[in-house]
Amino acid sequence: MNQANLSRLCTVSRRTFMVAAAGAAAGCATAPKGACRAAAGAPIALPPLPYGQDALAPQISAQTLSFHYGKHHQGYVNTLNKLLPDSPFAGQSLEAVVCATAGSAEHTAIFNNAAQVWNHTFYWKSLAPAGSGGAPSAELAAAINAAFGSLDACKKALSDAALTQFGSGWAWLVAKQGAVSVVKTPNAETPFTQKGTTPLLTIDVWEHAYYLDWQNRRADYVKAVLDKLMNWSFASANYAAAQNEKSC
Ligand SMILES: [Fe+2]
């Protein structure tokens, strides 16, 4: 990846991040272009959950959330904050760290932990307590219909991606140049490092996301999330932000 592409990616991602993970890098929201950096030495913060730990039950229990958020997500934050001070990325925003380390064999550990911090913040926002996630906006619904034919077919594509991701990873609804599609990523990989790609929603399919509630039944967990917990209002806001992107 050359520096020009990296710069464009980070410009796109910074805008996405402001919508997707507001609170994780609050300073980015008012920073001038090119100056989205945390204060030197400032640790990467664990953003608060957007709901109570029991708010997603029974599809996702409070026990799962307490481990998933309080141990796994917190663990990625802690590890990242141990790795960053002695790296070239000290003081950078979370998003900038992800952009700078994507595809770098030299900085795999930093990328894995930084991307997992970002992915989990995005995942919490992709979920909403049953009955509160809204529906796709008219603009997003039109894009979904154009790509899949219906919202149900879009959910089927998300389910297929989630169930065919071998091992740990993520299923995503993304937008690129106005068109929506479903992609899956392994381990910590995240689609916002791809040029012009804006994540809209994600489903975590690491076993730690569902094993306490559903054991090995990933299909049941994915169905429960898609039927009850998807935050289409969040996806709609991300889609609207993607429409204003000019550079990629
Ligand atoms: Fe997870």
Residue-range domain boundaries for the chain: 3-37+61-126, 138-243
| Ligand 1 centroid – CA 15 distance (Å) | 23
| Ligand 1 centroid – CA 172 distance (Å) | 14
| Ligand 1 centroid – CA 142 distance (Å) | 30
Contact 228, 59 (CB under 8 A): yes
Residues with CB under 5 A from ligand 1 (ion): 204, 206, 209
pTM across the whole model: 0.84
Average pLDDT over residues 213-226: 96
Q: Nearest Cα to 107, choosing from 235, 239, 1, 218?
A: 1
Fold of 3-37+61-126: Helix Hairpins (1.10.287)
Q: What span, in angstroms and rounded, lies between the C-alpha atoms of 141 and 149?
A: 10
Phi then psi dihedrals of residue 76, to 5 deg: -60, -40
Query: What's the pLDDT at 49?
Result: 97
| Ligand 1 centroid – CA 119 distance (Å) | 8
Query: What's the pLDDT at 186?
Result: 96
pLDDT in tens, 26-69: 333 323 333 334 444 568 999 999 999 999 999 999 999 999 99
DSSP states of 17-81: HHHHTTTTSGGGGTSPTT--BPPTTPPPP-PPPSS-TTTTTTTS-HHHHHHIIIIIIHHHHHHHH
Average pLDDT over residues 186-200: 93
What residue type is assigned to position 57 of the chain?
A
| Ligand 1 centroid – CA 65 distance (Å) | 10
Average pLDDT over residues 79-84: 96
| Ligand 1 centroid – CA 131 distance (Å) | 23
| Ligand 1 centroid – CA 158 distance (Å) | 17
Confidence of residue 195 (pLDDT cuts 50, 70, 90): confident
pLDDT in tens, 142-181: 999 999 999 999 999 999 999 999 999 999 999 999 999 9
Q: What span, in angstroms and rounded, lies between the C-alpha atoms of 78 and 72?
A: 10
| Ligand 1 centroid – CA 37 distance (Å) | 26
Which of 3.90.1200.10, 3.30.1330.10, 3.55.40.20, 3.30.70.60 is the CATH number of 138-243? 3.55.40.20
DSSP states of 155-224: HHHHHHHHHHS-SSEEEEEEEETTEEEEEEEETT--GGGSTTEEEEEEEE-SGGGTHHHHTT-HHHHHHH
Output Rg (C-alpha) for the chain, integer angstroms: 17
Both tokens of residue 23? Answer: 């609170």
